[in-house]
Amino acid sequence: MTTVTRTSSAATPDLFAGPGAPGSSGSRGAGPLLSVQDLHVQFRRRGVEPFDAVDGVSFDVAPGQTVGLVGESGCGKSVTSLAIMRLLAGRTTRVTGRVDFEGTDLLSLSRGEMRDRRGRDLAMIFQDPLSSLNPVVPLGVQVGEVLQRHRGMRRSAALREAADLLDQVGIPDPGRRIKEYAHQLSGGMRQRALIAMALACRPRLLIADEPTTALDVTIQAQILSLLRSLVSDHGTALIMITHDLGVVAGLCDEVNVLYAGRVVERAERHELFERPAHPYTHGLLASIPRLDAAAGERLTPIRGSVSDNIPWTHGCAFAPRCEREIDTCRQRTPELVPHDERRGDHLLRCHNSVPLDQVVAEGLAGPGHVARAGHEAAVLDRAATGPADTAGGTR
């Protein structure tokens, strides 16, 4: 297993140290760094009824905090991130709401102003590293372009610093790797290269869109360990987009469960895994493998798919797939409100939530469930940080 190394000589400062590092003005608890408010993304095509791929999504991210966006493919996770980064096609897409970054609405900026922010203040790790990297440009040149664009470095200096960045994200022999092309790197190295590019200008906010997809479990552990250290050691704000609840269990502080472009449940990580209340969250937990399952026990899939119900005009979008559907679900759209008056930070959008005793009876909640969220949660946490605390959840 490759160890993530960081240079620390006087000639080569820690390139991850930035405005969000501990002791700086960007410390956690100073208020949200990013505030997404009532974000709507509507896709419009000729001859097709427009529909909202993202419908009223709101959440905050503070320095040093990891916020997860979870759901099946087609729930609006990646579209939300692309809207934040202003990377959606303007002619066929209508984006409304507010995306406040340090008090500035990113949606109100001109293209040039947003281009200056993107890569410098906020950056994104894309889902497929092979298609995200230019196949005919050496890796060092691609990383160096970011440094030349935002930090005004000369090409030679940018290449040297690109090699330092690759070393810091754990790519061996970086002096040779900067001359290689994307197809010459392994999947794990390509993903690390994207992380190096995203961190080149020390952004305060990082968006990671399925950064461990299609990687083997040991490489996943290395990538997650690197992201965890960025948040804990340097105060980076992280938005983690994933369908993998094991990754969520080991990394996120707060979790937003998305369905059909809406947040249907939001809670602190342990609260969500120990007291899942929305039928969709309950279904996601029931459909993943569990280490404590009895031999021969079958998984419980969620019937249908997200695309079966898009677009919908009224009521709850999950109702056609929901085992707890009642008449109200088809008639009235539920609001996102506190699930329990005693726990105002656990929000739920449901007319007929899953009772806790049912969740416990099915073995999907209770102390330590975070560490049992699935095969990935246990394996990744052990590989990245050591054994899980089975008595009280993941450490």
At 174, the pLDDT band (50, 70, 90 cuts) reads very high
Whether the model clears a pTM of 0.75, i.e. scores above it, the answer is yes
Per-residue pLDDT at 265 = 97
Say whether pLDDT at 3 is over 70.
no
Indicate the domain borders of the chain: 130-202, 263-360
Per-residue pLDDT at 90 = 78
Percentage of the chain with pLDDT > 70? Answer: 82
Q: Each residue of 339-382: pLDDT tens digit?
A: 987 777 899 999 999 887 777 666 665 544 544 444 444 444 44
Per-residue pLDDT at 29 = 55
101: number of CA atoms within 13 Å, CB side? 19
Average pLDDT of the residues of the chain: 82
Closest Cα partner for 71 from 345, 332, 394, 321?
321
Per-residue pLDDT at 1 = 40
Per-residue pLDDT at 379 = 41
| Burial track 178-216 (b if 16+ CB lie within 10 A, e otherwise) | beeebeebeebbbbbbbbbbbbbbbbbbbbbbbbbeebe
Per-residue pLDDT at 362 = 67
Say whether pLDDT at 175 is over 50.
yes
- DSSP H helices in 275-390: 279-286, 327-331, 356-361, 375-385
Pairwise CA distance, residues 150 & 361, whole Å: 55
Beta strands in the chain (DSSP E): 34-45, 48-61, 66-70, 93-101, 104-105, 122-125, 205-209, 237-242, 254-259, 262-268, 337-340, 343-348
Closest Cα partner for 233 from 3, 27, 93, 10?
27
- 192 φψ region: left (φ > 0), alpha (ψ -120 to 50), beta (else): alpha
Report the interhelical angle of 217-234 vs 187-199 (nearest 10°).
20
Q: Each residue of 63-115: pLDDT tens digit?
A: 999 999 999 998 999 999 999 999 998 788 999 999 999 999 999 999 999 99
Q: Which residues contact 76 (CB under 8 A, 6 or more apart)?
A: 41, 53, 54, 55, 57, 258, 260, 261, 262
Say whether pLDDT at 35 is over 90.
yes
Q: Each residue of 237-252: pLDDT tens digit?
A: 999 999 888 889 889 9
Per-residue pLDDT at 375 = 40
Closest Cα partner for 116 from 126, 129, 104, 98?
104
End-to-end CA separation in angstroms for the chain: 21
Per-residue pLDDT at 314 = 80
Task: Note whether 6 and 168 are within 8 A (CB).
Answer: yes
